[in-house]
Amino acid sequence: MNNRRKFIGTAAALAAGTLAATAMPITAMENKYPVVHHVFFWLKNPESKEDRDKLIAGIKALKKIETVKDIHVGVVASTEKRDVVDTSWSVSELILFSDVKGQAVYQDHPLHLEFIKNCSPLWEKVVVYDAIDA
Amino acid sequence: MNNRRKFIGTAAALAAGTLAATAMPITAMENKYPVVHHVFFWLKNPESKEDRDKLIAGIKALKKIETVKDIHVGVVASTEKRDVVDTSWSVSELILFSDVKGQAVYQDHPLHLEFIKNCSPLWEKVVVYDAIDA
């Protein structure tokens, strides 16, 4: 390889290196469970602690579904009030899956169907966000 | 302790045990990072892969903030289309914190302010959900 070719080769490697460096954090931050399923529930009776606790218990039981890798059952956190923050919901369900197939298994699972049957009378609105790691 | 008292004591313990059993999953499933901060971004140019990738890279850099314990940067997952699933957003940012204070530190952190300055021209709408484990 003559010097010119060597230089071009190095320049190309450097350019590729720059691209790789930009992409690096993607690899470095890869999560084990890249599918994020986040559901927000608005209760029919948002003042009812009983309804809220019944829904929370119902969601927690979903942990038993084998494709559910991690679960957070939440209520509105007391963070700073800002216009962009939606605090109108009552209960949230955050579940992590290994893949989209795991999410599909969860959707059709008897425990999930039982949860919907038992708990859906409690809520008046549901919004779901399904994300996958970029 | 006579037998009657012993029985009452046992019955009370059983009753308490029942309550404890109901509450158990709360303890058993406690997460290390109970504060969930989930942001959904709607891009001004949702067709621009360049804008999307710039926003994704910007969010990934927020990992460096010391109170950020876990981060998922997402795009819409190809799950089953259902009425309740919102797929209108472009990029999501899910961050876990140890506590509400950690979230406040993040909000005011120079890296977060820099991210807002650099990336806010890219989005036309943001919705934030701040949850804490129930």
Q: Which ipTM value was assigned to this complex?
A: 0.78
- Whether residues A4 and A51 share a domain: the answer is no
The domain tally of chain B equals: 2
- Whether residues A19 and A39 share a domain: the answer is no
pLDDT for residue A15: 47
- Whether residues A41 and A13 share a domain: the answer is no
- Whether residues B71 and B14 share a domain: the answer is no
- Whether residues B60 and B3 share a domain: the answer is no
**Does B100 contact A77 at a Cβ distance shorter than 8 Å?**
yes
Q: What percent of chain B has pLDDT over 90?
A: 75
In whole angstroms, give the CA distance from residue A48 to residue A68: 28
Task: Domain of residue B2: give its range.
Answer: 1-29
Q: Does the beta carbon of A72 lie under 8 angstroms from any beta carbon of chain B?
A: yes
In whole angstroms, give the CA distance from residue B111 to residue A106: 37
- Whether residues B16 and B48 share a domain: the answer is no
| pLDDT of chain A, 134 residues: tens digit per residue | 445 555 444 444 444 444 444 433 444 457 889 999 999 999 999 999 999 999 999 999 999 999 999 999 999 999 999 999 999 999 999 999 999 999 999 999 999 999 999 999 999 999 999 999 99
Greater pLDDT, B85 or B28 = B85
In whole angstroms, give the CA distance from residue B107 to residue B104: 5
- Whether residues A68 and A92 share a domain: the answer is yes
- Whether residues B7 and B52 share a domain: the answer is no
Reported pTM: 0.79
- Whether residues B10 and B66 share a domain: the answer is no
Here the CATH number for the domain that contains residue A108 is: 3.30.70.100
In whole angstroms, give the CA distance from residue A100 to residue B75: 13
**Does B36 contact A60 at a Cβ distance shorter than 8 Å?**
no
> DSSP alpha helices (H): ranges in chain B?
3-28, 49-60, 100-108, 110-119
- Whether residues A22 and A40 share a domain: the answer is no
**Does A130 contact B94 at a Cβ distance shorter than 8 Å?**
no
Tell me which chain B residues have a C-beta less than 8 angstroms from the C-beta of A78.
100, 132
Please say if the pLDDT value at position B22 is more than 90: no
pLDDT for residue A31: 81
For B91-133, the pLDDT digits (tens) are 999 999 999 999 999 999 999 999 999 999 999 999 999 999 9
